[in-house]
Amino acid sequence: MTAANQAARFDCVIFDCDGVLVDSEPIVHRVLNRVLNELGIEITLEESMKWFLGRAVRDELGNIEARLGKPLPRNFLSEWFVRRDAALIEELEAVPHIRQTIEAIQARGLPVCVASGADRIKVKLQLTHTDLLGLFMDPNDRREHIFTATEVEHSKPAPDVYLLAARTMGVEPSRCAVVEDSPTGATAGVAAGMTVFGYAARTDADELRAVGVKTVFTDMRDLPELIA
């Protein structure tokens, strides 16, 4: 560990992916709302966003069936992935200023990684499409510093994926800064014993504070100084 890191507040910065690195939430929620209504669940976009923000569709299958009142089609999940990914490839962009923010954090000697509640295929697709994947590659052995819900037993709001990230990066949870945009993800970071910074560009700041987020911001360019 460098002298700069010893004097810093944190030894690692862990980024959520959706809504923090990539502006995927409006795209995914619009497609998901259409899919739910096609199934026969009459639900507004606002209602479905509140239901699924920070949650993976695969973890909500039982709740979808309960609301639908019958079993889902056997190919529901695979077709959802196809429609979701097609929309992302067509429309996805990086969160404004995220590249310069990450580079500024790395310039201070802080390692960064991704810990997402999504599946690994989606995370890599999004980071590759927005040209952010290289920022999370180990410069020595080119390993990806990416951790997803597919590698842990419980997804967010459980802390599992954040604890996996800290353990693999060789950092104590209390020395990790987490950047989250959803109450579900922020709950996971807080439960992991980490300091959560809430990105509230598209999220109600009060909802983030309600789950234990102390610092809320709306412009990624502010993050390096907030962490420092």
Residues 202, 147 within the same domain: yes
pLDDT in tens, 97-148: 999 999 999 999 999 999 999 989 999 999 999 999 999 998 787 899 999 9
Place 4 in a pLDDT band, splitting at 50, 70 and 90: very low
- End position of a domain, from candidates 91, 115, 134: 91
Q: What is the pTM of this model?
A: 0.87
Task: Find the Cα–Cα–Cα–Cα dihedral 217, 223, 227, 228, rounded to 10°.
Answer: -130
Per-residue pLDDT reduced to its tens digit, 17-64: 999 999 998 999 999 999 999 999 999 999 998 899 878 898 899 999
Taking the C-alpha atoms of residue 94 and residue 22, their distance in angstroms, rounded to an integer, is 4
pLDDT band at 5 (very low <50, low <70, confident <90, very high): very low
Residues 172 and 194 in one domain: yes
Does residue 54 sit in the same domain as residue 79?
yes
Range of the domain at 77: 25-91
Q: In terms of Cα–Cα distance, which of 171, 202, 206, 174 is closest to 190?
A: 174
If one counts the domains in the chain, the total is: 2
Residue 182 lies in a domain: yes
Structure confidence at residue 56 (pLDDT):
84
Mean pLDDT confidence for 163-178: 98
2 domain residue, yes or no: no
- DSSP label at residue 53: T
Long-range contacts of 172-175 (CB under 8 A, 24+ apart): 172/11, 175/10, 175/11, 175/12
pLDDT for 139 equals: 79
Question: Which CATH number does the domain housing residue 62 bear?
Answer: 1.10.150
DSSP state of 224: H
Instruction: Specify whether 119 is located in the same domain as 187.
Output: yes
Q: Of 59, 74, 91, which residue sits at a domain end? A: 91
Q: Which of 56, 75, 91 is the last residue of a domain?
A: 91
Are 19 and 126 members of one domain?
Answer: yes
Judge if 63 and 106 occupy the same domain. no
Check pLDDT > 70 for residue 86: yes
pLDDT of residue 53: 83
In this structure, is the dihedral angle defined by the CA atoms of residues 110, 203, 219 and 117, taken in order, positive or negative?
positive
